[in-house]
């Protein structure tokens, strides 16, 4: 793996003129351009970014640099970027150039970040292995040391983002997480992946998958880098009705601060029922690393974990089936002609959507249909409420919850053909998403095959500051970065 460079060290080097903004960009652009792992749908070249690079360099020269000035970032191809093709890795949007910038990416631009390109992802963010992309699968830069020629998945749906950071083609990448799409690929690529509280980061300008679950967040090399990005993107946005006006902290400033009271971390026994010893060892390692602190670990039990995945696979497709109705080939995107209007719809959508997206539209349409709504959608909404309540019950006893991020290490491309087996990848991340809670995946160790594994730390609503403080501590103690 390439040497990891933190945002703070890069900003310092730029300030001290050890490197120029252009040189830094070129360094990452060179790797991105090779696109060895297919982690980009589109790479922006230095010519395109010329004026942005110059302005950024000028600010450094004037000593007036912005928090992310000159930092090369990858952007999941789900964020609309003004004047830059945004495809959601789908054929149906393969020619779509937005005339607007998403709220989140605009914040990053406002803070001086320079975009390297648009990261590959699962089509419309539907997938857990980045194999559903119209532009082909992304390859995990990590190799199984016992079978080094195998191509492994990076996880998904933000697989291109994770692979890009791991391969060193960008410093960090913006992902989105609906049921684990930031945390799971971060875990499979040995990175930090943060899904903030639902409502922290505006969804305005992000191609919608499941509106009540979608949330933007960073995939980074370190917890500190995640704090850098979160500081930039977590803001109230009037144009997203579900954006929260809860006050935000300076997540970076206090990241080193000692936890101010005794911390209680709950470990849910029901998450560990059917996992391998290797996965359980990740939890044990994490526990051990914190032995020297005033931290107590307690067993907790959820009553709803077994229902979370089915609940998710009703609610998310239901919302998706409606959110994706606008892709009809009429106003933008790819149109397939037909003899009449219905044929245009049928041909455009049949040809424009891949199998997994089609499957979820069908599931979503089914669960919302007359006669099935009460049995599926309404029931799922009720269970979702119980899952939220279940978390709140547990948070009365503990400050954080520690779980594995995924039930397994990165698997081979093409290995999981059964959709249900694929959906099982999200079993630990989905409950957090349904509850709208913040969750972060931290690298916790390597498997017997030399592949990264991660743990997930879950906090209560808008507890990102404490979540990052504790994560920073765990990161330091596990010394995985060294």
List the catalytic residues: 76, 157, 181
**Residue 449, interface with other proteins (CB under 8 A)?**
no
Nearest to 121 by CA among 202, 206, 199, 49: 206
Taking CB under 8 A as the criterion, the residue among 6, 8, 20, 211 binding other proteins is 211
Q: What is the DSSP string of 187-243?
A: HHTT-EEEEPPTTSS--TTBPPS-TTT-EEEEEESSHHHHHHHHHHH----TTSTT-
**Residue 102, interface with other proteins (CB under 8 A)?**
yes
In angstroms, give the least distance from the CB of 210 to other proteins: 7
**Residue 293, interface with other proteins (CB under 8 A)?**
no
Binding mask 238-277 for other proteins (x = CB under 8 A): xxxxx-----------------------------------
Select from 39-47, 53-61, 232-240, 255-263 the region that touches other proteins (CB under 8 A): 232-240
**Residue 76, interface with other proteins (CB under 8 A)?**
no
**Residue 365, interface with other proteins (CB under 8 A)?**
yes
Taking CB under 8 A as the criterion, the residue among 70, 72, 74, 98 binding other proteins is 98
**Residue 205, interface with other proteins (CB under 8 A)?**
yes
Taking CB under 8 A as the criterion, the residue among 77, 122, 225, 319 binding other proteins is 319
Place of tokens 């997938």: 127
Q: Which is nearer to other proteins, 98 or 354 (CB)?
A: 98
Q: Which two tokens stand for residue 117?
A: 């390109």
**Rounded to an integer, what distance in angstroms lies between the CA atom of residue 223 and that of residue 252?**
9
Q: Which is nearer to other proteins, 57 or 161 (CB)?
A: 161
In angstroms, give the least distance from the CB of 203 to other proteins: 6
**Sign of the C-alpha dihedral, residues 276, 220, 475, 394?**
negative
Nearest to 66 by CA among 111, 33, 26: 111
456 near 407, Cβ under 8 Å?
A: no
Burial of residue 146, with CB atoms counted within 10 A of its CB: 0-12 exposed, 13-18 middle, 19 or more buried: exposed
In angstroms, give the least distance from the CB of 377 to other proteins: 6
Tell me the pairing of strands 263-268 and 295-300.
parallel
Local structure of 178: helix, strand or coil:
coil
**Residue 368, interface with other proteins (CB under 8 A)?**
yes
Place of tokens 């249900």: 420
Place of tokens 């059964």: 418
**Residue 96, interface with other proteins (CB under 8 A)?**
yes
Select from 42-50, 90-98, 178-186, 399-407 the region that touches other proteins (CB under 8 A): 90-98
55 near 21, Cβ under 8 Å?
A: no
Q: Which two tokens stand for residue 87?
A: 């495809």
**Residue 379, interface with other proteins (CB under 8 A)?**
no
Q: Which is nearer to other proteins, 65 or 106 (CB)?
A: 106
Number of residues near other proteins (by CB under 8 A): 43
119 near 164, Cβ under 8 Å?
A: yes
**Residue 216, interface with other proteins (CB under 8 A)?**
no
360 near 418, Cβ under 8 Å?
A: no
| H-run or E-run covering 386 | helix 379-395
Span between the terminal Cα atoms of the chain, in Å: 12
Q: Which is nearer to other proteins, 59 or 82 (CB)?
A: 82
Select from 179-187, 291-299, 318-326, 422-430 the region that touches other proteins (CB under 8 A): 318-326
123 near 156, Cβ under 8 Å?
A: no
**Rounded to an integer, what distance in angstroms lies between the CA atom of residue 88 and that of residue 95?**
11
Local structure of 309: helix, strand or coil:
helix
**Residue 373, interface with other proteins (CB under 8 A)?**
yes
Select from 80-88, 127-135, 438-446, 460-468 the region that touches other proteins (CB under 8 A): 80-88
Place of tokens 């709220």: 103
Enumerate residues 185-204 that contact other proteins by CB under 8 A: 203-204
In angstroms, give the least distance from the CB of 42 to other proteins: 16
**Residue 207, interface with other proteins (CB under 8 A)?**
yes
**Rounded to an integer, what distance in angstroms lies between the CA atom of residue 207 and that of residue 209?**
7
**Residue 360, interface with other proteins (CB under 8 A)?**
no
**Rounded to an integer, what distance in angstroms lies between the CA atom of residue 224 and that of residue 285?**
21
CA angle, corner 142, sides to 188 and 418, nearest 5? 50
In angstroms, give the least distance from the CB of 52 to other proteins: 22
User: 409 vs 152, 154, 278, 343, CA distance in Å?
Assistant: 10, 10, 10, 44
Select from 14-22, 135-143, 270-278, 328-336 the region that touches other proteins (CB under 8 A): 328-336
In angstroms, give the least distance from the CB of 80 to other proteins: 5
Q: Which is nearer to other proteins, 79 or 251 (CB)?
A: 79
In angstroms, give the least distance from the CB of 370 to other proteins: 5
Taking CB under 8 A as the criterion, the residue among 48, 293, 297, 345 binding other proteins is 345
Q: Contact residues for other proteins (CB under 8 A)?
A: 79-80, 86, 88, 93, 96, 98-100, 102, 203-208, 210-212, 238-242, 318-319, 321-322, 324-326, 328, 330-332, 341, 345, 365, 368-370, 373, 377
């Amino acid at each position: 793996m390439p040497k990891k460079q933190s945002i703070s060290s890069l900003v310092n080097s730029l300030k001290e003129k050890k490197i120029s903004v252009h040189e830094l960009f070129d360094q990452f652009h060179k790797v991105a351009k090779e696109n060895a792992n297919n982690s980009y749908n589109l790479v922006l070249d230095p010519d395109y970014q010329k004026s942005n690079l110059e302005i950024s360099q000028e600010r450094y020269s004037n000593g007036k640099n912005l928090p992310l000035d000159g930092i090369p970032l990858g952007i999941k191809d789900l964020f609309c970027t003004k004047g830059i093709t945004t495809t959601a890795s789908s054929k149906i949007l393969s020619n779509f150039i937005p005339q607007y910038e998403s709220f989140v990416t605009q914040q990053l631009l406002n803070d001086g970040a320079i975009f390297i390109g648009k990261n590959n992802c699962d089509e419309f963010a539907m997938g857990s292995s980045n194999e559903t992309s119209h532009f082909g699968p992304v390859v995990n830069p990590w190799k199984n040391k016992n079978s080094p020629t195998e191509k492994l998945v990076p996880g998904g749906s933000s697989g291109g983002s994770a692979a890009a950071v791991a391969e060193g083609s960008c410093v960090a990448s913006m992902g989105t997480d609906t049921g684990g799409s930031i945390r799971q690929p971060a875990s499979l690529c040995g990175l930090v992946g943060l899904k903030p509280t639902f409502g922290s980061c505006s969804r305005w300008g992000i191609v919608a998958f499941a509106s009540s679950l979608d949330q933007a967040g960073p995939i980074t090399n370190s917890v500190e880098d995640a704090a850098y990005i979160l500081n930039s993107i977590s803001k109230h946005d009037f144009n997203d009705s579900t954006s929260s006006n809860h006050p935000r902290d300076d997540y970076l400033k206090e990241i080193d601060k000692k936890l101010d009271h005794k911390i209680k971390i709950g470990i849910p026994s029901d998450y560990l029922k059917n996992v391998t010893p290797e996965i359980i060892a990740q939890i044990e390692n994490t526990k051990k690393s914190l032995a020297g602190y005033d931290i107590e670990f307690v067993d907790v039990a959820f009553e709803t974990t077994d229902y979370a995945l089915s609940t998710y696979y009703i609610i998310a497709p239901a919302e998706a089936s409606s959110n994706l109705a606008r892709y009809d080939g009429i106003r933008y995107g790819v149109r397939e002609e037909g003899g009449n209007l219905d044929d245009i719809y049928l041909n455009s959508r049949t040809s424009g959507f891949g199998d997994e997206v089609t499957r979820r539209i069908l599931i979503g349409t089914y669960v919302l249909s007359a006669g099935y709504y009460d049995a599926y959608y309404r029931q799922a909404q009720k269970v979702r409420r119980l899952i939220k309540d279940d978390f709140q019950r547990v948070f009365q006893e503990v400050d954080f919850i520690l779980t594995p991020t995924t039930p397994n290490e990165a698997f081979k491309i093409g290995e999981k053909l059964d959709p249900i087996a694929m959906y099982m990848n999200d079993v630990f991340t989905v409950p957090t998403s349904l509850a709208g809670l913040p969750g972060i995946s931290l690298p916790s160790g390597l498997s017997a095959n030399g592949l990264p594994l991660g743990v997930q730390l879950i906090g209560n609503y808008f507890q990102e500051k404490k979540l990052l403080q504790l994560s920073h501590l765990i990161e330091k103690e596990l010394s995985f970065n060294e």
